[in-house]
Structure 1
Amino acid sequence: MGESPGSTDPESGEQRRGGLTRRRVIMTAAGVIATAAAVGVATRIPEWLEDEPTGEDLAADRIFDADINERGLSGYAKLIPDDNREGLGYHLVPDPVGGGRQVVRFTSQPGLTLGNEFPRSMVETEPIIKAAAHGNDNDVYFNGFSIYVLDDDFEQDTWITVFTGGYGPPANGASLLGLMLVRHPEGGLMLRMGDDPQLLGDTVRVPTGRWVGVIQAYKYAYESNGGWVEMWINTDGQWQEVQINGENQATLDVMRPGVTDGWYRDASVPASFSRIGVYGSRPYEAFFASHRIARSFDAADPLR
């Protein structure tokens, strides 16, 4: 699962971010730096140059919207490992904090596995994460989800994968974008990316018993093709930027180098897909309310 960070991209973050959306540019001025003692992350709050987008604007920017409250799991192409949309591991339930909406509870348990001994309960989109060879003009995605995790006493070596922004070709499985829950050295839970402890360090705390939003923005490319990743978390009503490998927007191989790298040259190699759910070293249970993939931060916001 682990991957190694790439070297520094000669382009600045602002240059790489230019043209990512039709209507939005993320400000990086010092005046938008926000404190984040509550979650312990180096952060800046995204500020927007223009007015709040309309519903039509958001819909136009969205590539995928699970819309779990309205459609349950029917928005997903595949359930792993069970093809029964009401079967083991997948439960449509009322929001645990109230409000009347429907969310999905993923439950992994012994025997609910696929390809190895680790229990899992996950869902997967159509193969929509594409490179330029597939007709995507800039390989850039904003991928957001909301998760509610339960109080649980993780052992030191416990890991639970809850999200991956790109799975399948060109990587042999998950790319660097996967996020997992692990135990924080001082207790409680935190996020780790790509199973590499150095990328996020021990700063990205995940509180239990409340809804948490996460957005990854990434150029889905090898380092040599300008690949990068950026991430935000929302634990208390405001978005805070997470540093990755010490940077707000890290230049990384978001796809494993040298593995089926014909993807950039051959459009017949399938595109990748995104996953949410629970998969890990022990049985676990978590709730998800939203999963959106878009061309802009606003349209991917899972807490809207």
Structure 2
Amino acid sequence: MGERQEKTEAVPGHDQRGGLTRRKAIIAAAGVVAAATAAGVATQIPRWVEDEPPEQDLSADRLFDANIDERGLSGYAKLIPEDNREGLGYHLVPDPVGGGRQVARFTSLPELTLGNEFPRSMVETEPIIKAAAHGNDNDVYFNGFSFYVLDDDFTDQTWITLYTGGYGPPSNGPSLLGIMLVKHPDGGLMFRMGDEPQLLGTEARIPTGQWVGVIQSYKYAYASNGGWVEMWLNTGGAWEQLRINGETRPNLDIMRPNVTDGWYKDPSVPASFSRIGAYGNKSYEAFFATHRIARTFDAADPLR
């Protein structure tokens, strides 16, 4: 249905700057310090809590930062479809919860289609998602975005793709990294990844009417070459890691044969790209505030 770090890989449990382990430690330590203070127990904030990386260091780790508040959608390379335009498929509007920033509201319309009958309104980055097998020095990416969706009438057949982390040449087709909204069996909405229900199950419930953060990390390769994916969700102030196919970091074919494996057959084929927006089997509206692609968790954090 839907569209489908340095020189060494991140190692689970390794306390690298900007890595997830340190991020989790900061959240946990903040709770410990708060509890100790409330109980009147003297405590010390650990060094790594005070050692948040400065913004200039985070910026250096970023490969892409949409910065919608300041630049609208000018940071993206392409509108999807090409006849999309402000006032039709997207609007730049004030944040629906206030705060004075500008966000992008995407509306998929029946007159905005590409290659099939499904309405879409999306934007696409430059082709920056590359595999190590073809010259990229590190094919591990942290891809983060923040979005806001409204209550809507979803049926069991409704699907709305909001994002894809790596998509592109040599041919179009479903991407394993694509994330879509579908109806939860108990009501409300949930995420599905790669249009494969077993990957996320029913655990990734998505609230409406508030900002939600997502970070997806992946090694852009086939499972046979070490391909893997991880994902975190922030729906209420803390990042929680999702289980994918029952694991926190499953080895999977992140690049799909005949979809995103162009370099393995022809090195002249361009790299893949990332998309955000609204695309599905009904007209839909979604807001986006931040989209970052980086080498570290902190640098990709869309809620910083």
Bucket of the pairwise TM-score, normalised by the shorter protein: 0.7 to 0.9
What RMSD in Å do the two structures reach over aligned CA positions? 2.8
The answer to whether the Cα contact below 8 Å between 2:2 and 2:161 also exists between their aligned partners in 1 is no
- Per-residue deviation at 1:26? 3.4
Whichever residue aligns with residue 205 of structure 1, its letter is: R
The residue correspondences of 1:246-257 to structure 2 (distance < 5 A) are 246-257=246-257
CA distance in 2, matches of 1:154, 1:199: 21
Cα separation, 2, equivalents of 1:262 and 1:77: 20
Once the two structures are superposed, residues 218-269 of structure 1 have per-residue CA deviations (whole angstroms, 9 ceiling, x without a partner) of 0000111100000000000100000000001111100113657451364312
2:193 matches 1:200: no
Amino acid at match of 1:203: E
Q: Which amino acid aligns with 1:235?
A: T
> Cα gap change, 1:213/1:31 in structure 2, threshold over 3 Å: closer, same or farther?
closer
Match of 2:38 in 1: none
Provide the rounded CA distance (Å) in 1 between the counterparts of 2:26 and 2:71: 37
Could you say which residue in structure 2 is the equivalent of 1:278? Answer: 278
What does residue 184 of structure 1 align with? 184
Query: Are the equivalent residues in 2 in contact too, given 1:213–1:235 (CA < 8 A)?
Result: yes
Do structure 1's residue 287 and structure 2's residue 287 form an aligned pair?
Answer: yes
SS of the residue aligned with 2:263?
A: helix
Q: Any conservation in 2 of the 1:131–1:264 contact (CA below 8 Å)?
A: no
Structure 2 counterpart of 1:111, one-letter code: E
Instruction: State the percentage of identical aligned residues.
Output: 75
Change over 3 Å in CA distance of 1:190–1:169 after alignment to 2: same
- The offset of 1:197, in angstroms, is 0.5
Q: Is the 1:143–1:217 contact (alpha carbons within 8 Å) kept by the matching residues of 2?
A: yes
Alpha carbons of structure 1 residues 160 and 262: separation in structure 2 relative to 1, 3 Å: closer
Aligned length: 280
Matched, 1:17 2:13: no
The equivalent of 2:231 in structure 1 is 231
Matches of 2:109 and 2:19, distance apart in 1:
43
Letter of the 1:191 counterpart: F
Determine the structure 1 residue equivalent to 2:129.
129
After the TM superposition, which of the residue ranges 226-235 and 74-83 deviates more from structure 2?
Answer: 74-83
Q: Which amino acid aligns with 1:210?
A: Q
Q: What letter corresponds to residue 128 of structure 1 in structure 2? A: I
CA–CA distance in structure 1, aligned partners of residues 247 and 103 of structure 2 = 34
Q: CA separation in 2, counterparts of 1:187 and 1:302?
A: 27
Ranges in structure 2 where 5+ consecutive residues have no aligned partner = 29-46
Once the two structures are TM-superposed, the CA of residue 201 in structure 1 deviates from its matched residue by: 0.3
- CA–CA distance in structure 2, aligned partners of residues 139 and 114 of structure 1: 29
Q: Which amino acid aligns with 1:213?
A: G
Give the structure 1 partner of residue 166 of structure 2.
166
Give the letter for the 1:17 counterpart: A
Q: Give the drift of 1:161.
A: 0.2
The CA deviation at 1:117 is: 0.5
Separation of aligned partners in 1, 2:140 and 2:183: 31
Cα contact 1:18–1:25 (8 A) shared by 2 = no
Mapped contact 2:148–2:210 kept (Cα < 8 A): yes
* Per-residue deviation, 1:85: 4.2
Measure the CA separation in 2 of the matches of 1:276 and 1:250: 24
Report if the CA contact (8 A) 1:278-1:286 is conserved.
yes
Does residue 221 (structure 1) correspond to residue 221 (structure 2)? The answer is yes
Determine the C-alpha separation between the residues in 2 that align with 1:85 and 1:154: 26
Distance 1:84 1:158 in 2: 23
Q: Is the 8 A contact 1:145 1:290 kept in 2?
A: yes
**2:20 equivalent to 1:26:** yes
**What is the deviation of 1:23?**
2.3
8 Å contact 1:81–1:120 — kept in the other structure? Answer: yes
> Paired residue for 1:116?
116
CA distance in 1, matches of 2:128, 2:15: 18
Evaluate the alpha carbon distance shift between residue 289 and residue 259 of structure 1 in structure 2; reply closer, same or farther with a 3 A threshold: closer
SS in 1 for 2:236: coil
* Cα distance in 1 for residues equivalent to 2:84 and 2:110: 18
> Would the alpha carbon gap of residues 172 and 16 (structure 1) be closer, same or farther in structure 2, given more than 3 Å must change?
same
Partner deviation per Cα, 1:102-123 (whole Å, 9 max, x = no partner):
0000001212111110000000
Q: For residues 21 and 66 of structure 1, what CA distance do their matches in structure 2 show?
A: 28
Shift of residue 172, structure 1, vs aligned partner: 3.9
Q: Which residue of 2 aligns with 1:147?
A: 147
| Matched letter for residue 132 of structure 1 | A
2:58 partner SS: helix
**Matched letter for residue 75 of structure 1:** G
